[in-house]
Amino acid sequence: MDDKNMSFEEAFAKLDEAVKKLSSQDTSLEEAMKSYEEGVAYYKRCAAILDEARQKIEQFKKEEQDEES
């Protein structure tokens, strides 16, 4: 699945997987670096989705306030 089309829940689950791999004592340095890179990408996807949701909520609030005025 393309990361840009990934839902928040999917990205968060992948982020959680990356964190678990990093926390494992059986993870090699190479695997840890890969998990870290993937985790950063999934974190950014989650942050972007949350930011978009925040912007939509702010827009809805503004429209509601404008209607009340």
Residue 7 backbone dihedrals phi, psi, to 5 degrees: -75, 165
If DSSP states are collapsed to H, E and C, what string results for the chain? CCHHHCCHHHHHHHHHHHHHHHHCCCCCHHHHHHHHHHHHHHHHHHHHHHHHHHHHHHHHHHHHHHHHC
Total-model pTM:
0.83
18 with 38: CB under 8 angstroms?
Answer: yes
Q: Six-digit token pair at 32?
A: 């840890």
pLDDT tens, residue by residue, 6-62: 999 999 999 999 999 999 989 999 999 999 999 999 999 999 999 999 999 999 999
